[in-house]
Amino acid sequence: MRITKHPVLDVQEGKQVSFSFDGRTLVGKEGEMVSSALFANGIRTFSIHTVGDAPQGLFCANGQCAQCTVIIDGLPVKSCITPLREGMDVRTLVHHPELPADDALRSSHPPEELSCQVLIVGAGPSGITSAIELADLGFSVILVDDKDHLGGKLVLQTHKFFGSMADCYAGTRGTEIATILETEARNRENITIMTSSTVVGIYADGKAGIYQDRLEKYVHVSFEGLIVATGARERSLLFPGNDLPGVFGAGAFQTLVNRDLVKSSERVLIVGCGNVGLIGAYHALQAGIDVVGLIDIAPAVTGYKVHADKIQRMGVPIYLNHTLVGVQGDGKVEKATIAQVDESWNPLVETAKTFAVDTVLIAVGLSSADEFYASGIEGGFPVLKTGDANEIAEASSAMMGGRIIGREMAKLLGSDVTIPAEWAEKAEILKSHPGEVFSRSYKLQEKGWEPMIHCYQEIPCNPCTTVCPHDSIHLNDRTGTIMDIPEFSGKCVGCGLCVLICPGLAITLARKSKEEGLAELVVPHEFDHDYEPGTKVRLRGVEGADLGEGTVKAVRHNKKHRTSLITLEVPLELATSAVGILVQQEEVIQPLKETDFSYMPDNAVVCRCERVTVGEIKEFVRENDVTDINQLKLSRLAMGACGGKTCLDLVPRVLMQAGVDRGNIHPATHRPLTVEVPMKALANQGGGQK
């Protein structure tokens, strides 16, 4: 199913092409990933595993795992990184693929040899800003990314960014920031950009092997210094049913919904209340997808309070101190059961609830993809890492961090360049965790408009202080940084710029009405709607409390900010407490009448590639007195197509469940980092030339 209308994104038609799936003729968009075309056609199962004939579905949508492998024109490929073309024959991978009968002798060609002073692997926010900084210092740079557009995860982010307007485009949507940064990079003549290109190896002789999949060729790049900006991969989670099609990462969800405009789901449950999970809920609502709730085993939201407040106002509940007991379904996700936990994090069965859902989104954190940094250290040449490959943080921090790393690399290569001290200070602030939460009191003035600022937590953000034409919004100067809380004092003309630019949709405008007991209230709204003057809407408080009804007086849509300003008539006593309009109706979030306990915890799959379960690992550990994770490879753990990228983070917890002391656990030796490269590409059988 396609998203044909979106409140923030432009919907492009694209050229349609025909392809087949298991003999059935389907239609997709030329150049989109095969996985997205399959999802758009309602297909969720991509392969059938040899163990128990278990169905396999999409998980990362980023080429990191192998859950989306299908057979295309006779060959097994990852569908999430394979562009769709006319006439493709796509088939479900059933068990192991067959080796094609092909013994024809073909010519080969040596790889093309390129060189630069600095090779940057990854063109997300930190990789691009590193490249720009180095280019402006006169260095030649090759910037490599496996996607067809620059920007990394920015291209998936439809929300406005927090941070500093001066340093990281705060108040601008991530998709727009990606375009800005890509334009900046392409305007530098000494930056060579290689898109749809994957670095498959870093070698001790100071060369990188790069596979250009669209050209089916292999290239060598010689470099003096290496910057690793490869981002991070999503963590998996242990629970029964975690392998069912319909359980996938929040990043995969954003890829489908925001990049490819595919309505991947009808009803979702989100696990994780950090910023990724909170933002994922908002993106779902904008795409017309119901969200039954977010859960987190922690006692408090770990993301920004304004994000949590925003989605609760829209009608999405947050269940803290809750865990996912299991996911149920016949070959796909159909239900999910959650329960409250006690002080030892054990589920309390009597609190369990089961929801009807078709998707469970995993947003429980990221693991740095920094393997090439280790290769660089081993090779002995100058190597630095930046962005999420160095430390998991917000993209705003990654932009500033990239600039710093660019200059640090310049220094390593002999340039006499300084790094302004304030850059490091800004980078530290931008990656700060949420700070204290403060209370506020409001009293509406007798005449004129006044902004109601419902921002209560210290976070790095200042857009509202920069747009007021009368400079009437200031930070309270408690810390002297952009972590401070914004406050209003001065003149307000009701222009609404502060309402439009706030990333948390946490500012409204209010004034007393001419009619006794009433007030006018202007609220931001980023959803498709058909509100007209006279429409009755449900008002919500800061954290989602139902405050009754308001009446729409006027609607203004700002094209620049892609945000509507809805002017409402509300009871005077609600002018300072009403913050938004209910988007999702209450019946959506109701659990089923009967709770489902059809799975036991030991059924949870740890290694998705080889389908090794919690119970199998625990039994193996006890029978063989295992403390070295490498020994578990005898059970096929981490021996599948993803090379252990997904499962190895989970294994220590399972060993501890089996009675192994954490201090005695010996970590696994990672398999050599690689991606699938066809032999014909390594041999450059197409000539290997441009």
Closest CA to 192 of 263, 119, 265, 242: 119
Q: Which of 384, 401, 430 is the last residue of a domain?
A: 430
Say how many CA atoms lie within 13 Å of 298 toward its Cβ.
10
d(CA 30, CA 16): 6
Determine the average pLDDT of the residues in 214-223. 91
Provide, rounded to the nearest whole percent, the portion of the chain with pLDDT above 90: 79
Q: Write out pLDDT tens, residues 256-279.
A: 999 999 999 999 999 999 999 999
CA–CA separation, 274 and 269 (whole Å): 14
Shared domain for 374 and 345, answered yes or no, is: no
- Stretch 462-491: mean pLDDT, rounded? 94
Query: Do 576 and 482 sit in the same domain of this protein?
Result: yes
State the residue range of the domain holding 160.
112-232+368-430
- Examine the pLDDT at 134 and tell me if it is beyond 90: yes
Q: Where are the alpha helices (DSSP H) in 601-689?
A: 614-624, 651-657, 679-682
Residue 676 has pLDDT above 80, yes or no: no
Give the pLDDT confidence score for residue 614 in this predicted structure: 86
The DSSP line for 395-459 is HHHHHHHHHHHHHHHHHHTT------HHHHHHHHHHTPPP--B--------SSS-EEEE---B--
Please indicate, yes or no, if residue 103 is contained in any of the structural domains: no
CATH number of the domain that 649 lies in? 1.10.10
Asked if the structure places residue 595 within a domain, the reply is: no
pLDDT of residue 674: 65
| Mean pLDDT to the nearest integer, 66-89 | 94
> Which string of DSSP letters, residue by residue, matches 194-207?
E-SEEEEEEETTTE
pLDDT tens, position by position, 577-630: 999 999 999 999 999 998 887 665 787 788 888 989 888 999 999 999 989 999
Only one residue has tokens 């938004």, namely 580
Residue 373 scores a pLDDT above 80 = yes
| Number of domains making up the chain | 4
Q: What is the mean pLDDT of residues 13-19?
A: 93
> Is residue 106 over pLDDT 80?
no
Which residues, at least 6 apart from 538, have a Cβ–Cβ distance to it below 8 Å? 546, 548, 549, 581, 582
The amino acid present at 242, given as its one-letter code, is: N
98-107, 349-358, 431-440, 505-514: least confidently modelled range: 98-107
pLDDT at 573: 95
* Confidence grade of residue 671 (pLDDT, cut at 50, 70, 90): confident
CA distance 7 to 306: 20
- C-alpha angle with apex 319: 596 to 548, nearest 5 degrees? 115
Co-location of 153 and 219 in the same domain: yes
Strand partners, 33: 83
Q: Do 559 and 465 share a structural domain?
A: yes
| Same-domain status, 294 and 319 | yes
Look at residue 687 in the predicted model and tell me its pLDDT.
Answer: 55
Question: How high is the pLDDT of residue 686?
Answer: 67
- Whether residues 42 and 91 share a domain: the answer is yes
Average pLDDT over residues 669-677: 74
Residue 672 domain-assigned (yes or no):
no
Q: 278-299: per-residue pLDDT in tens?
A: 999 999 999 999 999 999 999 9
Tell me the three-class secondary structure of 527-585, residue by residue: CCCCCCCCCEEEEECCCCCEEEEEEEEEEEEECCCCEEEEEEEEEHHHCCCCCEECCCC
Residues 289 and 344 reside in one and the same domain:
yes
Which domain-ending residue is among 314, 346, 362?
A: 362
Q: Where is the domain boundary, 310, 341, 362?
A: 362
The pLDDT tens digits of the residues spanning 571-587 come to 999 999 999 999 999 99
Per-residue pLDDT band at 331 (split at 50, 70, 90): very high
Taking residues 103-117, what's their average pLDDT?
88
Residue 104 pLDDT exceeds 90: no
Position 690 scores a pLDDT of: 45
Residues 71 and 149 in one domain: no
* Residue 107 included in any domain: no
Average pLDDT over residues 181-192: 97
Examine the domain organization and report whether 168 and 201 are in the same domain.
yes
Q: What is the mean pLDDT of the chain?
A: 93
pLDDT at residue 408 is higher than 50: yes
> Does the pLDDT value for residue 689 go beyond 70?
no
pTM above 0.85, yes or no: yes
